[in-house]
Amino acid sequence: MDNLYYKTKLYLEANSKTESEFDSNIELENIGAGDYIKTWNVSGVAKPSDSQLNALASNATKELNNVVIRNTRKKEYPSIGDQLDKIYHDGIDEWKKVIKAVKDANPKG
């Protein structure tokens, strides 16, 4: 359902809407036969067709992958306290090396 979420999010953005429309206007569901939009109550924007959503698939996959990468990076970065200690004791260039190693190990798409 994640990919349907991101396809729908991109569709909303392409129609000058924001992700906040999901709060009470859109419900996604999967009852075993695949993901689908169960409820669509977005003012001024028609419910997207499968072909409209499928046209956004590669960008949605890229966005989903970047979310996963950002979450992985957050887990791998040292705590803020440790980062500040690194800067204080070893200097900004050494801190940059630590951060760069995490980013290089988890590149965005």
Residue range 65-79: mean pLDDT, rounded: 96
Q: Is the pLDDT of residue 47 over 70?
A: yes
Q: Which pLDDT score is estimated for 84? A: 98
Return the CATH number of 2-63, one of 1.10.10, 2.60.220, 3.30.160, 3.30.56. 3.30.56
Angle ∠(60,51,40) on CA atoms, nearest 5? 75
Q: Collect contacts of 38-44 with beta carbons under 8 A, ≥24 apart.
A: 42/12, 42/17, 44/15
For residue 6, the tally of other CB atoms under 10 A from its CB is 23
Query: Which spans in the chain are helix H?
Result: 2-14, 22-25, 50-54, 57-76, 80-90, 92-105
Positions of CATH 3.30.56 in the chain: 2-63
Torsion angle, alpha carbons of 49, 51, 55, 61, to 10: 80
Q: Which pLDDT score is estimated for 75? A: 97
For residue 103, the tally of other CB atoms under 10 A from its CB is 13
Tell me the average pLDDT of the chain: 94
Q: Which pLDDT score is estimated for 34? A: 85
Do 38 and 20 touch, CB atoms closer than 8 A? no
Residue range 70-91: mean pLDDT, rounded: 97
Higher pLDDT residue, 1 or 52? 52
Question: Residue 34 class from Cβ within 10 Å (0-12 exposed, 13-18 middle, 19+ buried)?
Answer: exposed
